[in-house]
Structure 1
Amino acid sequence: MTVRLVVRTLSELCITAGALIVLFVAYVMYWTGIQADDAVAGQLDTLQREWVAAPADPDPDPDPAPAPPARRPYAAGRGIAVMYVPRLGDDWEWPVLQGTGTGVLKKGLGHYAGTARLGATGNFSVAGHRRTYGDPFKDFPRLRPGDAVVLTDGTTWFTYRIDRAPYRTVPTDVAVIDPVPRKSGFHGPGRYLTLTTCDPEWGSSHRLIVWGHLDATQPVTAGRPQALDRP
């Protein structure tokens, strides 16, 4: 009798544990994506309304040469730009917010505090989830040298070009977002871009990195840049 009771109890516990695991997987794979879709759409809408109401300051130096220091700091948690990566899909469009905290990365991509402003001299560095919360960088390993990463702040289009295939490193390697990252192949000050995400796909033991340089800029009034066409 006692053995039968123990077996029945263990069976019930296993069934309960299995149900909880299934619910957790469903939450991670689906519910976080639904949450992200709503949050991302809200951020994109907010940015568009802000740009219509009060356009961003135009880039004082539209050529890809060193720009003067920015006059206004980015506000923590607020949207600062929209990013497009044609290699990752025609409809790949994500807001970039200031900061890389957990709450920020649930709403979009995050700009590392302390790195350069968009289009400025230095290293404009951005983090994004590989999986969960919309999977923005799920296909990160597909990025290749020459791929375009296009951003806009509502006034100017900034087209960066990736310079090397994704580089794998550990989370403590914070030098990847230095103004001139040592392993990037860059040898002096410039207007650079760094994108970071987790690796492996469903883990976080490592990071994948790509570096790029500012290739061109143009005012939004001139229309969409050709770089937005898929490669």
Structure 2
Amino acid sequence: MTALRPERESGATYGESFTDSYGGVGDQGTSYGQQPYGGPGARGEQYGGEDHVTQGQAHGPGAEAYGADGYGGGYTYGTDGYGTQHPGTEGYGADGAAAARQPYEEPYAEPYIPPADDETVALRVPDPPPLAGRVSASAASSAASAAGTPTGGRAARRKAAKRRHGRHGGSHAASESAETGSESSQAPLSRLEARRQARARKPSPGVLASRAIGEVFITTGVLMLLFVSYQLWWTNVRAHAQADKEASSLQNDWASGKRNPGTFQPGQGFAILHIPKLDVVVPIAEGISNKKVLDRGMVGHYAEGKLKTAMPDAKAGNFALAGHRNTHGEPFRYINRLAQGDAMVVETQEKYYVYKMASILPVTSPSNVSVLEPVPPGSGFTGPGRYITLTTCTPEFTSKYRMIVWGKMVEERPRSKGKPDALVS
């Protein structure tokens, strides 16, 4: 029943209208519609109808209409009717009813947009709005600074973490910041002061000299280490290889008959020495030259000048040999471990000569050549015989003294009869 209806004709009786609404009978002759209330301030054109106030017409100049749905939006009286309009109220009528039916809307506010990241524009959890926690931005920043929490973007947080957890800890970061602050607070240096500081930073001649000496010492130490490694390790490797090659070549020549007993050239191999207790098998060459014989891992026969000694096949004499105790194959390193009765076998192209260890001279002078005599003094031998003498340096890794080991021949065995018992066992 909210649709508008046609207005009644002007001059309608009040009784007719009142009869429609309340069932009573009014005065049909009295025109009650316009004269009593039609003027300024009246409540409407007519008072009655099906909806009590149905037409929504104005009640006078300046007054709002009553709504079709009753009193729709509040009480508003015309300025010329029942008084002035009350502030904040809506008028009667269709407009007032429509305003009353509209839902309440919140005032428009701009949505919160988090600031762009310094490093990336990828998604991330936004910071809370400034008023979310009822704390202002300045208060939050002050609290974060007091707690040691970075308030900037990701880059600022990383820098702050690096300062706090660097290689040297927080104290290092604090010292760096203090130094940076002190440097920034200082006034710029003058050219003269800058030159003075540059000269002060330059190392002095004493420092340069000490550095040079230190580098020389380090280089010398490295070279000495390399030399020692060469002497103690590489020379043995190379000498063993050369000695093994010479022994194999000598045995092959003996098997093929290329060599004949007789006089040998310096450096030429002619026999093989076996010391079973020490597990020594080493070629014997003519002469005692370091370069040609001893440094190649072989032992040398004293066969030159005043130091010339007999050969193993001589009927009487002293067969003297020299060899290294350390480095270059070190064939005589452990001859001090020999005891009386230990076998020493000299293998030649035709025979095996078996000697038994008789005595040892632990220390003697390098110039004591009497140990090479046919009957060496101090050996315990009392007369001519067939002897063997081994000479080497002592103590180890030095050549200050000589060690002498003597032995006496106990067996001469042709190769055709096979190896002697000392080599078989």
Further displaced range: 44-53 or 208-217:
44-53
Q: Note the C-alpha offset of 1:194.
A: 0.4
Q: What are the superposed Cα offsets for residues 167-210 of structure 1, whole Å, 9 maximum, x if unpaired?
A: 32110000101111111111111111000000011101110001
For 1:86, the aligned partner's letter is P
**Corresponding position: 1:97 with 2:300:** no
Contact 2:324–2:331 (CA<8 Å) still a contact in 1?
Answer: yes
Q: In the alignment, what sits opposite 2:238?
A: 35
- Cross-structure match for 1:158: 353
In 2, Cα distance between equivalents of 1:112 and 1:173: 14
2:352 aligned counterpart, secondary structure: strand
Partner of residue 224, structure 2: 21
Q: Residue 72 in 1 paired to residue 262 in 2?
A: yes
Distance in 2 between the 1:4 and 1:219 partners?
Answer: 75
Which secondary structure state, in structure 1, belongs to the residue aligned with residue 359 of structure 2?
Answer: coil
Task: State the 1:154 CA deviation.
Answer: 2.4
What is the one-letter code of the residue matched to 1:201?
E
Q: Which has the higher contact order (CA 8 A, sep 6+)?
A: 1
Q: Please state if 1:204 is matched with 2:407.
A: no
Aligned ranges for residues 1-231 of structure 1 at < 5 Å? 1-54=204-257, 72-89=262-279, 92-103=280-291, 104-107=293-296, 108-113=298-303, 114-120=308-314, 121-228=316-423
TM-score in terms of structure 2 length: 0.49
Structure 1: 4+ residue segments shifted above 3 A: none
Higher strand share: 1
Q: Which amino acid aligns with 1:219?
A: P
The alpha carbon displacement at 1:162 in A equals 0.8
Deviation at 1:75, TM superposition (A): 2.2
Match of 1:68 in 2: none
Is the Cα contact below 8 Å between 1:193 and 1:213 reproduced in 2? Answer: yes
Structure 1: stretches of 5+ with no match in the other structure: 58-70
User: Partner of 2:285: helix, strand, or coil?
Assistant: strand
Task: Give the match's secondary structure for 1:158.
Answer: strand
- Checking the alignment, whether the CA contact within 8 Å between 1:56 and 1:155 is kept in structure 2 is no
Look up the match of 2:122.
Answer: none
Is the partner of 1:192 in helix, strand or coil? strand
- Residues 12-65 of structure 1 show CA distances to partners (whole Å, capped at 9, x for unaligned) of 1111011011011011011211220121012102211210122766xxxxxxxx
Instruction: Choose 35-44 or 168-177, whichever is displaced more.
Output: 35-44
The 3 A distance-change label for structure 1 pair 55 and 194 is farther
Partner Cα distance (1:227, 1:55) in 2: 28
- Conserved 8 A contact 1:163-1:212: yes
The separation in 1 between residues aligned to 2:390 and 2:351, in whole angstroms, is 20
Alpha-carbon shift at residue 72 of structure 1 (Å): 2.8
Q: Is the 8 A contact 2:324 2:332 kept in 1?
A: yes
TM-score by length of 1: 0.88
Report the identity percentage. 39
Q: Distance in 2 between matches of 1:15 and 1:163?
A: 50
Provide the residue aligned with 2:193 in structure 1. none
CA displacement 1:210-229 (0-9 Å, x = unmatched) = 11111002122222211125
SS in 2 for 1:106: helix
The DSSP-based 3-state class of the residue aligned with 1:165 is: strand
| Cα distance in structure 2, aligned partners of 1:56 and 1:50 | 6
Q: Which runs of 5+ in 2 are unaligned?
A: 1-203
Does the 8 A contact of 1:56 with 1:153 survive in 2? no
CA contact (8 A) 1:193 1:212 kept: yes
Contact 2:360 2:379 in 1 (8 A): no
Q: Provide Cα deviations, 1:74-126, integer angstroms capped at 9, x if missing partner.
A: 3221101001101212xx21000000011211220000012111132100000
SS in 1 for 2:366: coil
Give the partner amino acid of 2:362.
Y
SS for the counterpart of 1:94 is strand
Aligned partner of 1:5: which letter? L
